[in-house]
Structure formats: structure tokens, C-alpha cells
Structure 1
Amino acid sequence: MPVVPGPSRLLRLYLLLGFSAGLPFYMFNAVLLLRLARHNIDIVVVGFFAWIALLPTFKFTWAPLLDNYSVPGFSRFWGRRQGWVMISQLGIFLALVAMAGTADDQSLPLTALFALLLAFWTATLEVAADGWRIELAPSQVEQAPVVAANLWGYRSAMIAAGSGATLVAARADWTTAYLVIAGAAFVPFPLLAAMRPERSHAIGRTSALVKGVLVSLAAFALIGLAAALVGAALLSAVRGAGLSAETNVTPIVLGIALLPFMALAAALPRIKRLPVDTWANLPRVLAPHVELFWRFGHGVLPLLAFVSFYRMGDVLTLTLSHPLWNAAGYSLDQISMADGLVAVGCSLVGVGLGGLCAARLSMTLALIIGAIASAIGNWVFVWLWFAEPSALVLYVAAGVDQFGHGVAGAVFVVYLSMLVSPHFPGAQFAFLSGFAFLLPRLVGGVSGAIQKAIGYDGFFLMAGTLSLAAILFLPIVMKLRPRTR
């Protein structure tokens, strides 16, 4: 039988897994955008790079593979979920090393390729860890402390990586910064490799490690090649269509954002009429999504609209907060401190409060508190933009921002975890958490164009208002009662 960790060991495990997933996130997002801004790349192009964060929103497309297949070598010894975690960690390490080799940003397509690979392996790690978490802690009361531990690890690693990379870049260069974070990203791998096997009759540890590492290297090479070919084709198509940094692509992006809603609305009537357990005979890639739509019926439309808006402001703020600090004249040393001790401390307090709200309050009230905290965390940058630049202003703004995002993030993860079926925990959580960031990250990619049109103050005022707007959906979504099987 699989090993089920005790409560304290489960919290330590998810603190470690949160650290593993959080460490690379800033490196293909906020830190990369700051790096590009410091290299004087046009703000519109910098905004386009935010679309790299779109890749994790589509993790639901490969999440069913993690629910149904194992990694040769790793999974035979440590189990299916941990095997996927370990191959993802090696992929993250190799992608960070590759990004260090392109840190001069002389070839933006190459920079984008390795950032995409980093985003892919980070998303894969999250899918494996989330599915495992829901299996081990299925109820809301059990989820709250595990989610808090996971987010403590995630947000502290995410922020520490951003702060550490910025500080190293200020003292040395961006190549060294990415290599340092790559070294830190490798640390959890031997810790997980030292864990006991999932089953007593597992193959030898050394044999599992060797085979798993070889499979990891082959997977990294093949996926990298596929990403390069697809990327080259997309670049050729974009250039052939005459699109450039000067093209107003905002209407196109918003139109694309509506397509999933339209496709889903068209399919729902047929899905609702399906008999119970029809999805048992469907392909494994489709079954989790059909089951989710069947349970919620037409209620899935306002549900998905709600999750799309709830973290909208957080994503937009993360996209342009660092370019804002750079434009306001703050140094890399000051940004490093804001991203470091200040942000980590405030984020951990926010996550703790969010987890407490999710465990002790009704989910409706907890979500309202999270939305308000998130909106204030976005609006604080309007004050920063007009305030006289000083270290205190920067630290207060960064602290309020991270506190608000910590509260909202913890509540949101518990809420999404309660929506999934125990039959498809990894795939359905991947779909919901991915869909939640689809619209925000699509809009985030044109944030540079929006900023040019309405300024930094207008941009962050808009971001906070969109976070608060999620509350308008609560009277509908909290009344939804899914069908039972």
C-alpha cells in the first residue's frame, strides 16, 4: 500500500513541495521582465513576455497523463506522484541553467524558448503536487493547514528567488543570478530522493535514480525541440500577418479570451444530458473535464467567470510591478530588499491569515476578505507612483501587495480544492487553477500597451478594481449545488 504521511510530516512535505514550485516562478515572470526592462527592451515587448505565464494555464491538457501514467525509474521506487515531482525538478534545474546562458537577451526568441521550458516544468510540478495533496487531505478542514504550508513554501521561495536573483545581478550579472537560483532549485531533489519507497517491493534506489535521470534528460531534449519548432512556426505566422510591437493586439487578445467560454457554452447542453458515469468510457484526457461540466451544468459558466476574475488584479500587478519600480528610479538593491525580507514576511502572514479564514469562516466570507485584501494590494501601487521615491515607500507598497496576495491566494486554493472530484483530483484542479489564470495572463500580455495608454496609475487602479469585481459573482456561485454521481 502507498505510504500516507502523518499530519506533521504532510505539512513538512508540502512546505518542501511549495518551495520547489515557487522558486522558479519569478524567474520566468517578474525577474525576467525586470531583466528585459534593465536591458532597455520596449515595454510593449516586455509585456508580451508575460504571455509565457500562459503556459501553466493550459496544464490541464497534460494533467490527465500525470493521473494515469508513471515516470520510468522514479515512479517505480517513490510512486507515481513523487516520480512526476522529481522529473519536473530536474527539468526546472536544466531550464534555469539554459536561461543563464542567454542572460544577455541578445536573442529574444532563445530567451523565450528556455523561459517556456521553465514554465512547462514548473506547471508539471504543480499538477503532480496538487493531485497528491487533494488525495491525502480531501476535506476543507484538512486542506487549510496543508494549503497554508504549501503556500508558505511557495511564496517564500518565489519571493526569495526574486530578491536573491536581483541582489546577485546587482553585485555580479544576470547569468550568475540564474545559476545561483538553479543551484537552489536542485536542493529539494536529493531530499526527495532520500525519502523511503512507496512500496516495500520497490526496485533499488540507485537503479531508480539512474533510469529516472536518463528519462529526464531525454524528455527535456525532446520537449525543448518540440517547443522550438512550434515557436518558430508561430513567429513566422506572426510576422507573416504583419503584427509587431506597434500593433494594437488588445482586441485580438480579448477575443481569444472569450473563445473558451463560447466553446464551453456550446457543449454544455449535450454534456448535461449525458447519463451518470458516461465519462468512464471517454478518453482519459477528456473524462475529468466532462465530469466537472456534468456536475455543475450551466453553473460552470458563472463559476469559471468568477475564478477568472478573482486573481485578475494579482496577475496584472505582478506583470508590471517590477517595471514600475524600475521606471520610478528604484535601484536593484532597493528592489531586492522589497522582494526579500519585506515581501516574504508580509506574504507569510497573509497566507497564514488566509488559511485561518478558510478553516474558520464560511467560504463566502473568506473569499470576500481575500478579494478586498487583493484589491488594496493592487491599489497601493497608485500611491507609490505619485509618492516621493524612498525606500520606505517601496517597502510599504511591496509589503501591502504581498500580504493581500497571500490572503487571497490561500483562500482561493482551498476553494478550488473543494470543487474537484476525488476521482480526478489532479486533472480537475489543474483545469480550474489553469483556467483561473487564462484571462488574467492573456490580458497581462498586453499590459505594456495598456500602460502606454492609461499610465501606471490608471493601470494599477484598474487592476484593483477587477479584483474587487469578483465579489459580484459570489451570490451566484455560492448557491451552486453540483449533481452527485
Structure 2
Amino acid sequence: MTGADRPQAIAAPPGRLALFALLGVCAGLPFYLFSTVLSLRLAQNGVPIAVIGFFAWVSLLPTFKFLWAPIVDRFGVPGFARFYGRRRSWILAGQLGIAASITGLALTHPDRSLTATAFWALALAFWTTMLEIAVDGWRIELAPDAATQGPIVAANIWGYRGAMVAVGSGVLLVAERAGWAAGYLIPAAVALAAFVPIAATRRDAAGEGGRVPALAKGLAASAALFAGLALVIAIAGSALLALAAAIGIGANSNVTPWLLGLALVPFLAMALAIPAIRRRSPEAIAASGAPMRPYLDLFWRYGFAAITLLAFVSLYRMGDVLALTLAKPFVAALGYSLGAIGLADGIVALAASMAGVAAGGLLAARWPAGSTLALGALLAAIGNFAFVWLGARPLSAPALWLATGADQFGNGFAGAAFVVYLSLLVNPVHAAAQYAFLSGFAFLLPRLLAGGAGSFAAAHGYSAFFLMAGTLSLAALLFLPPVLRARPREGVA
């Protein structure tokens, strides 16, 4: 696809930035609830740190979103899609699934059945991912260049990170006073309430029928989808537990060699497949089956440079993902109360995160990509190292605020710069599928290794763990020169 063939950027009309900020809220609200807040809850309920690390694998599910992203590109949720179109139909269904899953997590406290807790965490991760796929595809279609991506990305991530941090903080403050169940039920109610303004948006340009019949049929279809998902999770979960038991993996196992071996598999597979893909003609790629076409197009355009690109995106957010897994259990282990952690997250983290996102989105639209990405990696590493500094100090609210602020500012800046960069790598014809693949792969290796974070911290200590996380953030800089030289070849649509 040539530059001339790309869709022209659409100037954001009044309300578009607000809409994407709301969609960011919808996607960001549940994230901490199946990751960092859940890890703190598990620690409070006496779950061993190594097992808490295993729960980080719940976040692996979004990394495989490219497997079902083509469904979002081609199909809609029955009922909803007829009136709202494909993208919003999945956004609406995702919002309902998010509300139901958070409610399920509320009811599993005090985590006496870790299987039940894991089930609802996986369901929440799945529906959050479906919503993100739909939002990302819609965003890239509306704004395919850097100048228009910057403001929309900033608005979307503002909403995302604002909700993520505010909910994470609010749950802790409520949990300290009214218990974990109440802490989870409140964001479940917020998620359900967010369904209303999205359902009130206007009919799609190609839509037909009435709003009320569309909502009724969409609610029924969403319930059926949730039941089907529950069955898939139950079957897959049982199979994985049986496999782990068969090969001797348990709470006290050293899983790092297994994880590093698994991390190499996709790179080896790509190295074997790329020569055959590159030899195919543009017409053959365009005529390939719909589920595979977006991914064949990506590797056809970038060739072996795709391996370098994917290695870079795997490392870029590595430190943030690893730190996120154990940050709250670490701070709690230092002696800080749920209230102190919640206040730091609610005031300092929110302000620092918003400032980081704003700076990252602004500079991504104005600076060369290499400069913005390099600064983001440096700031992310500083945020990781801040936890090492915090652990060496006596309990102090200002110290907790400073470490939290450094972490959240760096995370927000790097996140905004990274989203803009990934968005410009995709072919807009396959926007949702290719962005899902790139953003999912970006977190595959970090989330895979995060499952062993608890075992590493138990063996070497928290300080060594956060030093490692920061160093890995800086390691991404080694890939910047070849990444910035990578150019796609033209020809496939």
C-alpha cells in the first residue's frame, strides 16, 4: 500500500477526544483489578509470593488478542452490530462482560478457591481485551497519521490511565474500610454505568433498525458469548493444570528456564516462515484467507526486519510489566498500609501519569520517533529504580509519593510514545488485526517472564528484582538504530 493509497486523516470533530477518553476509561477501569490490585489482595489473603507471580500469567491472555482480532474486523455482535456497527458492538458487549467479571471477582474473596479467582480474572482479561481491540481499530481508522494520532492517543490513554490509577487507588481505600468484596463491587457498578452513554451514541452510518430491539438482542447475544467463554476457560484451564502437574511444575518450581525457552519459540517460527512469505507475490498475499491476510501482509512488508521490530517492542515495556507484577506487594511488605498505598496511587500517581501521557503524546507528534522512544525508555527505567531507592529508606509518605510519581510518569510517557509508534507500523486496511498483533506481541515476553517474578524475588530479594526490571527497560535502546532504519516495502493492501 502506497502513502497515496492511505485513507486521509480525519480532523477530530468536537466530542471525538471526549469519546476516546471515555473509551479509555472503559478499558482502563478493569486492568489493575486482574493484575496489581489482585496481587496485593492475594498477598493480604496469605497466598505465597511465588503463586502470586503465577497470577501474572492472566495478563498473557491479552497478548494473544491477534488470534481473535480478525473476528472484530469482520463480524459484529448480533443485535448490537445491526444498529451500532461492528466496532461499537464489541465495545458494548465488552463492557457488559467486564461488569460481570468484576462482580465475580468480588464474590471470590477471600480467595479460598484460587481456581475460581483465576477463572474470573481470566474472564475479565478477555472482555477487557475485546473492548481494546475494537477501540484500537476504530482509532487507527479515524486517524492514520502521527499528527492526528497524537491527540487522540493522549485522550484515550488519559482516560485509560486515569481510570486505571483511580480505580486501583479507590479499591484499596474502600477495602481498608469495608473489605475487598465492596472494593470490587463499586468498580463493577461503574463499568455497568459506562455502558449507558456508549449505548446512547447515534446509529452507525450503515446501521438500521431501532435502538431498543438492537439492545435487547445484543444483551441476549452477549450472555450467550459469556457462557461460551466460561466453557472455554474451564476446559483450557483444566488442561493447563493437568499439563503443569504432569511435567512437575508447582509453587516451588524454578520456571525461568521454561519461560525463556517458550519466549524463543515465536522468534524461531518467524525466522522459518519469513523467507516463504517474502517470495509470494503481492497478489498472492492479498488473495490469502481473511484470518491470515493481515499477518502475512505485515511480514511481507517488513521481512526479516519484523524480527528486529518485534524484539524491540518486546523489550520496550519489559521493565514496566515486571515491576507492575510485584510493586504493590513490595510496598505492602515494607510496612505501608492499604490506605497509604491507595492515597499515593490516587493523588500522586494519577497526576504523574496524566502528565507523563500528555508529554509523551505531545512529543510523539512533534519529535522524531527515535528521540521520543529513547526518552521513554530512560524515564521508565528511572521509575523502576525508584522502588530500589524506596526500599532502602525508612517508612515515609513523601518517599512513597516520590517513587510512585517517578514510576507513573515514566510509565505514562513511554506508553503514549509507544502507542503512537505501533500505530504507524500498521497497514490501515488491517488496522485492528495488525495493531492487536503488535501490541499483543509487545507484552508476550514481559508477561510470560512476569509469571516467574515471584520466584525471582523470593530467591534474590525485591531490590535485585527492580534493578533487573530497570536494566531491561534500558536494554531496548540497543535496538533503536536498526528499528529506525526499518522500512516496509510497498504493494500489498
Query: Which of the five TM-score ranges fits, normalised by the shorter chain?
Result: over 0.9
Tell me if 1:211 matches 2:217: yes
Establish whether residue 243 from structure 1 lines up as the match of residue 249 from structure 2.
Answer: yes
Deviations 1:273-320 (A, max 9, x none): 110132332222211111000000010011000000000000011011
Distance in structure 1 (CA, Å) of the matches to 2:135 and 2:27: 9
Aligned match of 2:436 = 430
Q: Is structure 2 residue 210 aligned with structure 1 residue 220?
A: no
Query: Runs of 5+ in structure 1 lacking a partner?
Result: none
Q: Using the alignment, how far apart are the partners of 2:284 and 2:189 within structure 1?
A: 47
Q: Which residue of 1 aligns with 2:236?
A: 230
Distance 2:401 2:261 in 1: 37
Alignment of 1:194 with 2:197, yes or no, is no
1:30–1:322 contact (8 Å) kept in structure 2: yes
- Structure 1 residues 277 and 378: CA distance shift in structure 2, 3 A: farther
Out of 150, 169, 175, which is 1:169 matched to? 175
Q: How does 1:68-467 map to 2 (within 5 A)?
A: 68-199=74-205, 202-467=208-473
Output the CA distance in 1 between the equivalents of 2:156 and 2:37. 22
Query: What is the CA–CA distance in structure 2 between the aligned matches of 1:327 and 1:347, rounded to whole Å?
Result: 24
Residue 10 of structure 1: how far off its partner (Å): 1.4
| Counterpart Cα distance in 2 of 1:445 and 1:223 | 23
Q: Which residue of 1 aligns with 2:31?
A: 25
Distance in 2, Cα, partners of 1:200 & 1:276: 31
Equivalent-residue separation in structure 1 for 2:476 and 2:351 (angstroms): 27
Contact 1:77 1:199 in 2 (8 A): no
- Report the alpha carbon displacement of residue 8 of structure 1 after superposing the two structures with TM: 2.9
Q: What's the offset of the Cα at 1:462?
A: 0.8
Amino acid at match of 2:334: A
Stretch moving more, 26-35 or 241-250: 241-250
**Percent of aligned positions that are identical:** 54
**3-state SS, counterpart of residue 244 of structure 1:** coil
Task: Give how far 1:186 is off.
Answer: 1.4
201 and 261 in structure 1: CA distance in 2 versus 1, 3 angstrom threshold? closer
User: 2:30 touches 2:128 (CA, 8 Å); kept in 1?
Assistant: yes
Corresponding residue number in structure 1 for 2:483: 477
Kindly state the Cα deviation for residue 202 of structure 1 after the two structures are TM-superposed.
1.5
Distance 1:441 1:458 in 2: 18
TM-score (norm 1): 0.98
Give the AA of the match of 2:58: I
Distance 1:322 1:201, change over 3 A: closer
CA drift at 1:238: 1.4
TM-score, length-scaled by structure 2: 0.96
Shift of 1:185: 1.1
- 1:201 deviates by 5.7
- Cα offset for 1:75? 1.1
Conserved in 1, the CA contact under 8 Å of 2:84 and 2:207?
no
- Superposition deviation, residue 187 in structure 1: 2.0
Q: How far apart, CA to CA, are the structure 1 residues paired with 2:332 and 2:317?
A: 24
- For structure 1, which segment, 335-344 or 234-243, has the greater mean C-alpha deviation from structure 2 after superposition? 234-243
Q: How many angstroms apart in 2 are the aligned matches of 1:357 and 1:290?
A: 32
RMSD: 1.1
Alignment partner of 2:63 out of 43, 50, 57: 57
Secondary structure (helix, strand or coil) at the match of 1:138 reads coil
Aligned residue-pair number: 482
- In structure 2, stretches of 5+ residues that fail to align are 1-9
